[in-house]
Amino acid sequence: MIDDGTGLFTIGELSRSTGLSVRTIRYWSDEGALPPVARSSGGYRLYDAASVARLELIRTLRELGLGLDDVRKVLAGETTVAEVAAAHVVALDAQIRSLKVTRAVLSTVARRGSTAEEMTLMNKLARLSAAERKRIADDFMEETFGGLDTADPDIRTRMRFGLAELPEDPTPEQVDAWVELAELLQDKGFRRRMRKMIEFNAADRGPDVPAGTSLWFMSRLVQLAGEALEQDVDPESPEAEEVLGPLLGNADRAAVLERLESAAHVEMARFRELNALVRGMEPLSAHRAEFAWVVAALRARPAR
């Protein structure tokens, strides 16, 4: 307080009493957040006790990350602290989501040893809007099922609704899985393999085959193979035919093998795993061992 009986403070005295630098106080004053109440005879800015309280409020708001525009509005009574805080929470949530995406991309780059070009692609994929992510899924579905009207509709429905959507507030692990899933959905080789699998399904279905039959067949095949594995049945043994025979009947074993191999490739298993990870769920079993057993059994007796 200056020694003139007015009870006013210079910037230097405010600095000493608050711990804020003279430069900071002067900047806030220049920006209109802390206007002086008077000037000394020498032209120095002077502040009163209310200015000290105002200065503490400015410091608190700034430490919470509010910009000077919002600070001035609060001080001028144009908005309340609560209103500004609510708006700031929304902004912080968006910033946190962006930081999670950034962290996920950088973690993936570090783990893969990615090039600059790969990093740029991953960053773009991770930051796609919901509409852009939907377009990727729709394009994949069209290229896989387009024109194949006789394909089992239950497969189409399960696959479309099985394509995971990135949550509004994803974890780094979910972003990481989504980036890999988006890359896979756009991979031409993967799309060709998925298309071939659906072409096989469409060719095998007659007009009177109920929807869901294909899914039931694969589920039953996995179940039988699982039981055979538990009983240590050798896929090349005669006992393997006893396992598969009732289900396959007179079907062309070579054709069944070709179709099974198209549905049991490694990328299809990874596709299922990634969708589960994006949802934040534990991936379901890909039944690799069961499919491998059936493939080995069919290869041992392709002409039956």
Q: How far apart are CA 97 and CA 127, in angstroms?
A: 10
Predicted local distance difference test score (pLDDT) of residue 96 = 79
Q: What is the pLDDT along the chain (304 residues), one digit of tens a residue?
A: 444 556 788 999 999 988 899 999 999 999 989 999 998 888 889 999 889 888 999 998 888 888 888 888 888 888 888 888 888 887 787 777 777 777 777 877 787 787 887 788 777 777 777 788 888 889 999 998 888 888 888 888 888 877 888 777 777 788 888 888 888 999 999 898 888 888 887 877 766 777 777 777 778 878 888 888 888 888 888 888 888 877 777 777 777 777 777 666 778 888 888 888 888 887 776 677 887 888 888 887 665 5
Q: How far apart are CA 263 and CA 240, in angstroms?
A: 21
- Spatial CB neighbours of 214, under 8 Å, sequence gap ≥ 6: 152, 154, 155, 201, 204, 205
Q: Find tokens 């608050």 and name the residue.
A: 18
Q: How far apart are CA 100 and CA 170, in angstroms?
A: 8
Predicted local distance difference test score (pLDDT) of residue 263 = 65
- E strand or H helix that includes residue 39: strand 38-39
Query: Cβ(36)–Cβ(46) under 8 Å?
Result: yes
Query: Cβ(109)–Cβ(122) under 8 Å?
Result: yes
Q: How far apart are CA 302 and CA 240, in angstroms?
A: 13
Q: How far apart are CA 4 and CA 39, in angstroms?
A: 13
Q: How far apart are CA 19 and CA 28, in angstroms?
A: 15
pTM exceeds 0.85: no
Predicted local distance difference test score (pLDDT) of residue 6 = 62
Predicted local distance difference test score (pLDDT) of residue 25 = 93
CA distances from 137 to 167, 274, 276 (A): 15, 14, 15
Q: Find tokens 């991953």 and name the residue.
A: 122
